[in-house]
Amino acid sequence: MSGSGSKIDGRVERGNQTRRLVLGRTMDIASVEGLDGLSLGRIATELELSKSGVFALFGSKEELQLATVRAAVAVFADRVVTPLNDVPPGARRVRELCRSWLAYSSGRVFAGGCFFYAAGAEFDARTGPVHDAVARTHRDWTAFVEGTLREARAAGELAGDLDVEQVAFELIALMETANAQSVLHDDPAAYAHAERGITTRLLTSATERGREALTEGT
């Protein structure tokens, strides 16, 4: 029985390794060429895998696309959200979240810049499961930024009458514009412009305590 179990465990681990290999490649392809650039045959050929093996893992192009979106969410969370675990709620946490996002984009964690900006532009006018999955990531990100702003407001570091939805919209717009200009024009200065704009917007919305937190160490 133990020998049979070892064989099964071995096959599962090999399958998991293949899945990670495939998704690592599909995320980079999709960030540059779009999710429509993915196909089971192409991935099998590029990674020198059997097409039947790739098909067994994903089943269809649509499932490959959906799995790629889910994998990108995990990478995004690790690179953008996790670094803030030790930063307490407040104005500085909002700014550090935005800086983390800008570093994720400028560092080309995905070859084409922000994976979700590219996927959103590709699927914004479509319908179906992939559109819904991409739209959900955008809603979740907006909700996270809004939640971080609300925490800072509750901590007394942003104005009590702060329009959270409006400020979140502006911060995300600055980040996405920096990503778009950097990718299109190979212009890294766009990130510095975005960071200055974000800091200025937060300073105008901050209480005295919040402004102290934002300027501390700068």
Sorted by where each starts, the structural domains of the chain and their CATH numbers stand as 62-215 (1.10.357.10)
**Tokens representing residue 15 in the block:** 């399958």
d(CA 79, CA 183): 19
Please tell me whether residue 7 adopts helix, strand or coil conformation: helix
The type of residue at 105 is: S
What pLDDT was estimated at residue 14? Answer: 78
What's the pTM value of the predicted model, to 2 decimals? 0.91
What single string gives the DSSP state of each residue in 158-190? B-TT--HHHHHHHHHHHHHHHHHHHHHH--THH
Residue 130 makes CB contacts below 8 A (sequence gap 6+) with 35, 62, 65, 66, 69, 123
Q: Residue 89 has what DSSP assignment?
A: S
pLDDT in 10s for each residue of the chain, 218 residues: 456 555 556 666 777 899 999 999 999 999 999 999 999 999 999 999 999 999 999 999 999 999 999 999 999 999 999 999 999 999 999 999 999 999 999 999 999 999 999 999 999 999 999 999 999 999 999 999 999 999 999 999 999 999 999 999 999 999 999 999 999 999 999 999 999 999 999 999 999 999 999 998 55
**Tokens representing residue 158 in the block:** 């942003």
Beta-carbon neighbour count of residue 36 at 10 Å? Answer: 13
d(CA 147, CA 141): 10
What pLDDT was estimated at residue 1? Answer: 47
Q: Among candidates 82, 97, 103, 200, which has minimal Cα distance to 151?
A: 97
Range 119-128 contact pairs with CB under 8 angstroms and sequence separation of 24 or more: 119/30, 119/34, 119/35, 119/69, 119/72, 122/34, 122/35, 122/36, 123/35, 128/62
What pLDDT was estimated at residue 94? Answer: 98
